[in-house]
């Protein structure tokens, strides 16, 4: 198994709309997702969801626990 090397991380508020989940403003969020950013010359930029959290603060805290993340 190869380890993924992320070039960065993002936190997005997510709102549940029926069977769909869409990015939204924080005040409308049902939860917050942390995404790792993968960038390469062949596939461009891709995002990998690392986890979902009840609050933005919890999501940001998790990013700070990842070695090399800022």
Domain layout of the chain by residue ranges = 8-62
Q: Is 7 exposed, middle or buried (0-12, 13-18, 19+ CB in 10 A)?
A: exposed
pLDDT above 90: residue 69: no
Query: Is 1's pLDDT higher than 70?
Result: no
28: left (phi over 0), alpha (psi -120 to 50) or beta: alpha
- Does position 70 have pLDDT exceeding 90, yes or no? no
**36 close to 50: Cβ distance less than 8 angstroms:** yes
**Over the stretch 34-65, which tens digit does the pLDDT of each residue have?**
999 998 767 788 999 999 999 999 999 999 98
Mean pLDDT of 15-33: 96
pTM for the model stands at: 0.84
pLDDT given at position 48: 92
């Amino acid at each position: 198994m190869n380890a993924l090397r992320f070039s960065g991380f993002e936190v997005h508020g997510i709102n549940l709309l029926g069977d769909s989940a869409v990015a939204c403003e924080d005040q409308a969020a049902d939860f917050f997702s942390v995404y790792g950013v993968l960038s390469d010359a062949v596939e461009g930029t891709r995002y990998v969801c690392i986890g979902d959290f009840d609050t933005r603060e919890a999501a940001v805290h998790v990013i700070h626990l990842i070695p090399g993340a800022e």
